[in-house]
C-alpha cells in the first residue's frame, strides 16, 4: 500500500488519503456569489479521489477581495450561492471539504489575471485597498489606506462571521490565508508592516493581528471542526528586513498553541522584489523544516506534479500531505492515476466503479456489476 494513500485525521476530520486539492482562485464570482462555473469546477475536482478539496480563497469582506470576481462569504447571498454548490458536492462525492478564508489587503482591487492583474483605479470600478501601513505593493501604485485599530476589530469580526457561515454550510474544515502577500501576511512581514503601535515593529507585535484572528475563529467554530493556516514561509527578499523561515517557525508554534490542526507551507507574494528559486518541489524544504520544528501536520505545495514525487515527500517524512493546484486542473483524476502507478486505492462514485484503478499495473477494475 502506498503511504500517499494512507488515511490521516485532522482533529475530527478523517481524510481517506494524503492528497489535497489546493484552493485555486477562479475570479468568476458575481458580487462574491458562486456561479455555475464554481459548480462545474469544484464538481470535477471532487470526483477525482483526493482526500480533501479546499474551496478557493474566499473574501471575508467586499474590500477584502483580490479582484471584483473573487468568491466571498460576507453576506447571506454569498452563503446561499455557495450552499447550492456544496449541496451538489455532498450529493455526488464523499470528499472532505474545506474553505480558505482571507482578506487581500493592499493586493485588493486587482484585475483578473487574464485582464492583466494590475490595480484597478477607483474611477475604473475599483476600490481603495487597505493595509497595515500606507505602503503600496508596487512603487508605481497609489498607497492603500492604513488600517486603524478600530478597523482591525471589524476585520476580525468579519473573519469570525465568515467562519460561522462556513459552519452553517456544513464544511469540514477552514484554512486561514496568511500567505502570498495578502492581509495577514502583510502584518507578519516588515516589508509591508511598518506600524509603530502594538501591531507593528518587533516580531511579537507583527504576529499579534494574525494570531488574534486565528484565536477568534477557533473560538467561534465547533471543537471538532478542523482549522489550519496557510503561510508564506519566506518572502524570498534579502535586500531589506523581511519575513523569514525562522520567524515562520515562531509563528507556527504560536498557532499550534492556539489549536491549529495543520500548516500549509507556501512562500512569497508580498514584494515584487522577491527572488524565488522556482523548480520541482522548491517549497518542500520549507515544509520539512516546519514539520520538524513545529510538529503540526504539514502540507507541502508547489510544483508537485508526479505520483512518485508526492510519494517520496510522504515516505521521507518531509510533509504529511501534498497539495496540488495546476496539476489537478491539468488532470482532475490525478489521484486515480497515482493510485494505479503506486498500488494505492481511491474512493470513487459507484457509477465510475469499473474505471477506478485496481492496483499497481492494473489500470481498471474488473467488476461487471452483474450486468448481462
Please report which confidence band the pLDDT of residue 360 belongs to, taking 50, 70 and 90 as the band edges.
Answer: low
Residue 358 lies in a domain: no
Summarised one tens digit per residue, pLDDT across range 82-125 is 999 999 999 999 999 999 999 999 999 999 999 999 999 999 99
In this predicted structure, the answer to whether residue 244 has a pLDDT above a threshold of 50 is yes
The cell numbers describing 249, all together, are 517557525
What's 122's domain CATH number? 3.20.20.70
Angle, CA 1 vertex, CA 322 and CA 14 arms, to 5°: 55
Residue 350 lies in a domain: no
* Chain centre distance of CA 315: 23
pLDDT of residue 239: 87
Residue 347 lies in a domain: no
Mean per-residue pLDDT of the chain:
95
Residue 365 lies in a domain: no
Residue 337 lies in a domain: no
In this predicted structure, the answer to whether residue 367 has a pLDDT above a threshold of 90 is no
| Strands (DSSP E) found in the chain | 8-10, 13-15, 19-21, 52-59, 96-102, 130-131, 145-146, 173-178, 226-232, 262-266, 298-300, 321-324
Q: What is the mean pLDDT of residues 68-72?
A: 98
**How many residues in total does the chain contain?**
372
Residue 270 lies in a domain: yes
* Chain centre distance of CA 68: 19
Mapped onto helix, strand or coil, the DSSP state of residue 365 is: coil
In this predicted structure, the answer to whether residue 359 has a pLDDT above a threshold of 90 is no
Summarised one tens digit per residue, pLDDT across range 4-36 is 999 999 999 999 999 999 999 999 999 999 999
pLDDT of residue 361: 45
Burial class (CB in 10 A: 0-12, 13-18, 19+), 142: exposed
Residue 177 sits in which domain range?
A: 3-325
Q: What is the mean pLDDT of residues 126-142?
A: 96
Summarised one tens digit per residue, pLDDT across range 136-188 is 999 999 999 999 999 999 999 999 999 999 999 999 999 999 999 999 999 99
Domain tally, the chain: 1
Residue 152 lies in a domain: yes
Catalytic residues: 182
Q: Is the pTM of this model over 0.75?
A: yes
Residue 348 lies in a domain: no
Task: For residues 154 and 149, give the distance between their C-alpha atoms in angstroms, rounded to a whole number.
Answer: 9
Amino acid at each position: 500500500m502506498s503511504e500517499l494513500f494512507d488515511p490521516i485525521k485532522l482533529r475530527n476530520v478523517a481524510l481517506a488519503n494524503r492528497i489535497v486539492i489546493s484552493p485555486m482562485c477562479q475570479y468568476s464570482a458575481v458580487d462574491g456569489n458562486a456561479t455555475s462555473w464554481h459548480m462545474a469546477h469544484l464538481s470535477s475536482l471532487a470526483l477525482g479521489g483526493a482526500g480533501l478539496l479546499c474551496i478557493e480563497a474566499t473574501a471575508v469582506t467586499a474590500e477584502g477581495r483580490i479582484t471584483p470576481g473573487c468568491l466571498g462569504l460576507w453576506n447571506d447571498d454569498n452563503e446561499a450561492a455557495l450552499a447550492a454548490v456544496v449541496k451538489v458536492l455532498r450529493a455526488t462525492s464523499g470528499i472532505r471539504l474545506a474553505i480558505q478564508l482571507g482578506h487581500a489587503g493592499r493586493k485588493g482591487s486587482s484585475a483578473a489575471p487574464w485582464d492583466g492583474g494590475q490595480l484597478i483605479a477607483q474611477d475604473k470600478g475599483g476600490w481603495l485597498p487597505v493595509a497595515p501601513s500606507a505602503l503600496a505593493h508596487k512603487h508605481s501604485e497609489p498607497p492603500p489606506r492604513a488600517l486603524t485599530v478600530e478597523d482591525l476589530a471589524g476585520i476580525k469580526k468579519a473573519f469570525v462571521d465568515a467562519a460561522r457561515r462556513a459552519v452553517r454550510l456544513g464544511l469540514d474544515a477552514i484554512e486561514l490565508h496568511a500567505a502570498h502577500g495578502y492581509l495577514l501576511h502583510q502584518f507578519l512581514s516588515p516589508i509591508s508592516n511598518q506600524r509603530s503601535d502594538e501591531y507593528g515593529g518587533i516580531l511579537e507585535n507583527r504576529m499579534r493581528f494574525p494570531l488574534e484572528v486565528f484565536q477568534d475563529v477557533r473560538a467561534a467554530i465547533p471543537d471538532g471542526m478542523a482549522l489550519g493556516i496557510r503561510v508564506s514561509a519566506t518572502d524570498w527578499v534579502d535586500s531589506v528586513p523581511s519575513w523569514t523561515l525562522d520567524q515562520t517557525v515562531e509563528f507556527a508554534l504560536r498557532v499550534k498553541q492556539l489549536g491549529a490542526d495543520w500548516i500549509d507551507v507556501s512562500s512569497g507574494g508580498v514584494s515584487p522584489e522577491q527572488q524565488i528559486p522556482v523548480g520541482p518541489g522548491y517549497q518542500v524544504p520549507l515544509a520539512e523544516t516546519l514539520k520538524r520544528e513545529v510538529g503540526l501536520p504539514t502540507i507541502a505545495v508547489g510544483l508537485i506534479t508526479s505520483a512518485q514525487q508526492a510519494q517520496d515527500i510522504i515516505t521521507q517524512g518531509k510533509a504529511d500531505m501534498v497539495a496540488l493546484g495546476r496539476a489537478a486542473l491539468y488532470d482532475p483524476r490525478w489521484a486515480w492515476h497515482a493510485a494505479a502507478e503506486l498500488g494505492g486505492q481511491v474512493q470513487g462514485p459507484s457509477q465510475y466503479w469499473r474505471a477506478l484503478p485496481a492496483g499497481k499495473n492494473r489500470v481498471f477494475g474488473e467488476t461487471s456489476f452483474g450486468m448481462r
